[in-house]
């Protein structure tokens, strides 16, 4: 489907170093917040969709946000949220970025941005070339994009299944917004993703877990070590640029 690390011909460590940032998503506890920050993550994501096993209620998220250092951006993952839910969420937990991981139209994306005043990241679920049709409609209404794999048929939640998609579908595309690559990333395939696409942000979640929402400290550390080797910037390095 896509090249593995050892399939990149002649790729030296120096050639692979392309500056990017890391988002650790699906966090459910303060210990992981501290660990991800210490290892250099720039974004921390929290799932606010009740069917997900990584769901964090807004009231609990408020407690977790108090543990996040100021230089780290917080991301609330929502799925086709109502205005009432958005108002409830932000009254408890004012995240920096709202990640819209449902079927939100460009009109709905604009409305959410205007209503909340938050930066908005629109997730695009990719399984085939046609999933990218109409992508341009989001360029004027979203602040960021995220590309994730389409979930398995019948899945109860739209992301966090540990599945990659064919990254070649994005190869060569020029995107006018900051964007993140998600879906099945781990320490073993991160180099291939960076070499092929040079994503500004990489998003890791289920491949570094022992159970949904339970991040494995060793897998997280291995992923962040590989990210740093490949050129990932810490929040302090980003702010110094």
In a domain, 207, yes or no: yes
Low-confidence spans in the chain with pLDDT less than 50 = 1-16, 155-157, 159, 161, 241
pLDDT score at 164: 82
Q: Does a structural domain hold residue 131?
A: yes
Query: Is residue 56 assigned to a domain?
Result: yes
Structural domain total, the chain: 1
- What pLDDT shows up at residue 150? 81
The CA-atom distances, in angstroms, between 26 and each of 53, 159, 221 are: 9, 10, 16
Active site residue: 7, 29, 143, 148, which one?
Answer: 148
Q: Check residue 239 and give its pLDDT.
A: 66
Tell me whether residue 34 is in a domain: yes
Q: Write down the pLDDT at residue 218.
A: 98
Given this model, what pLDDT does residue 236 score? 83
Domain that holds residue 155: 16-240
Tell me if residue 67 is catalytic: no
DSSP 13: H
In a domain, 185, yes or no: yes
Is 7 within a domain? no
- DSSP code, position 67: T
25 is catalytic: yes
Output the pLDDT for position 151: 67
Per DSSP, helices labelled H in 47-134 are 58-65, 83-92, 106-116
Residue 128 domain flag:
yes
5 located within any domain? no
Which listed residue (7, 25, 29, 118) is catalytic? 25
CATH number at residue 34: 3.20.20.70
């Amino acid at each position: 489907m896509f090249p593995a690390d050892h399939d990149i011909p002649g790729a030296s460590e120096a050639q692979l170093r392309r500056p990017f940032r890391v988002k650790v998503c699906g966090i459910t506890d303060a210990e992981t917040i501290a660990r991800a920050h210490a290892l250099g993550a720039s974004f921390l994501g929290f799932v606010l969709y009740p069917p997900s096993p990584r769901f964090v209620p807004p009231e609990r998220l408020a407690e977790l946000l108090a543990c996040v250092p100021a230089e780290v951006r917080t991301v609330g993952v929502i799925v086709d949220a109502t205005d009432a839910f958005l108002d409830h969420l932000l009254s408890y937990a004012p995240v920096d970025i709202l990640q819209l991981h449902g079927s939100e139209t460009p009109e709905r994306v604009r409305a959410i941005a205007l209503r909340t005043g938050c930066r908005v990241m629109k997730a695009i679920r990719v399984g085939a070339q046609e999933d990218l049709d109409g992508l341009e409609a989001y360029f004027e209404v979203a602040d960021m994009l995220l590309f994730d794999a389409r979930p398995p048929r019948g899945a109860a939640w739209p992301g966090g299944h540990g599945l990659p998609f064919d990254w070649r579908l994005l190869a060569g595309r020029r995107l006018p917004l900051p964007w993140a690559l998600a879906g099945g990333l781990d320490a073993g395939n991160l180099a291939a993703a960076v070499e092929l696409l040079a994503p500004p942000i990489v998003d890791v979640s289920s491949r570094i877990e022992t159970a949904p929402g339970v991040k494995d400290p060793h897998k997280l550390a291995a992923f962040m070590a590989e990210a740093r080797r490949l050129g990932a910037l810490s929040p302090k390095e980003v702010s110094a640029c």
